[in-house]
Amino acid sequence: MGRRMGVVVGGLVAGVLVLPVAAAQAKLAAKVTVPEQTGPRVVVALSSTTKLSSKSRPNRVQVRSGSTVFTLKRYAGARSGPGSWRTARLKGTAVSRARGLRGKVVRVVIRSRAGTTTLRPKVATPTVGEPTAPTGPRPSPDAGPAPSSGPGPSPTPGTPPDSGPGTPPSSGPGTPPDSGPPKNFPAPGRDLTGQEALASFGPYFFNSEFSDCFAGSWPACTIEHRYGHGSDGTFVHRRCTPTSGSDVNFVDAYQVVGALHRADGSWVVEYTTQDGAGFYHWEVAQNGLAQGDYRYLNGEPEPLRDYVWRQPANMGRCVS
């Protein structure tokens, strides 16, 4: 018989037991929102402290509150990450039930091949306030486009500023909207702020875009910078060029945080992207000419000058 090796302690033999060190388990977190837009959806942004294995990557996500259950589908995120999830466009009574989740603690049930995880986050309550002081000049309905130094860097952190909107085709970038009475923006007769303002000009902001190509979408201009705002809360920044390797196709979610509808019909909107790290401030004149600023974290604002408002938004990718 073999002998068991050990250490004698008080007449007892203490065997040496070596256990494998367990790998650090990923800790999931969930941010739940119901964006205040036409046809809202329940949106869940999942994050993880470590890279997920294929076995532990979520394949099904539900949001539950009492008898209310919303099933979500992945719409963004790297293959190795937990991703972002959202419901289909809600209709009927589902809209009020989704809005009723705001401010409540819900259960987020996350399933994967490794098992089921349940989180209990509080659904964010959207707050739309008065915009901050404008960082750029207020657009004038009578002002034509001025020379631009370029729209600044991409919202993607670490992307250097580009060299500007490029050279337009021989026919020029187009002409700004005429300065006559606006055909689309209603004039409320008094200044509206916050949620009241968003409800007033929201139909013209949601499913709209700001583009620096007055002639239309690329390739009407050699280079186009476009910021799109989907009615489902999806945000896109496109930089379309003749070379696909130079294109920017950035997709994220946005949240409106500031709104002002002036008595004359012009309006101001502010929103955040990248979980609050990116901040946009846009001022839109009666003629549809838009001036904006973009700030990432506490950095200096990057000017977004001489853009044109359009509907519906072209949310598609650049195709060079």
pLDDT digits (tens, 9 = 90+) for 81-112: 788 899 987 877 887 788 889 889 999 999 99
Instruction: Categorize the per-residue pLDDT at 148 as very low, low, confident or very high, splitting at 50, 70 and 90.
Output: very low
Tell me how far apart the alpha carbons of residues 135 and 70 are, in angstroms, rounded to a whole number: 40
Question: What average pLDDT score do residues 279-285 get?
Answer: 95
Question: Cα–Cα distance between 205 and 312 in angstroms, integer?
Answer: 10
pLDDT band for 183, please (50, 70, 90 cuts): low
- Rounded Cα gap, residues 247 and 57, in angstroms: 30
Distance CA(130)–CA(192), nearest Å, equals 9
**pLDDT value for 11:** 45
Q: How many other C-beta atoms can be found within 10 angstroms of the C-beta atom of residue 187?
A: 14
Confidence of residue 162 (pLDDT cuts 50, 70, 90): very low
Residue 179 has pLDDT above 50, yes or no: no
Residue pair 253/233 in contact by the 8 Å Cβ criterion: yes
Give yes or no for residue 254 having a pLDDT over 80: yes
The CATH architecture that domain 192-310 belongs to is: Beta Barrel (2.40)
Residue 319 CA: distances (Å) to CA of 44, 207, 234:
30, 21, 19
Average pLDDT of the chain is 77
Give dist(CA 68, CA 98) in Å, integer.
Answer: 9
> Is 238:224 a contact under the CB 8 Å cutoff?
yes
Q: What is the pLDDT of residue 182?
A: 46
Residue 107 has which token pair? 């259960």
Residue 66 has pLDDT above 60, yes or no: yes
Query: Which of the two residues, 159 and 218, has the higher pLDDT score?
Result: 218
CB atoms closer than 10 angstroms to residue 121: 16
φ and ψ of 197, to 5 deg = -65, -45
The torsion of the CA quartet 45, 73, 101, 82, rounded to 10 degrees, works out to -20
Task: Give the pLDDT of residue 279.
Answer: 92
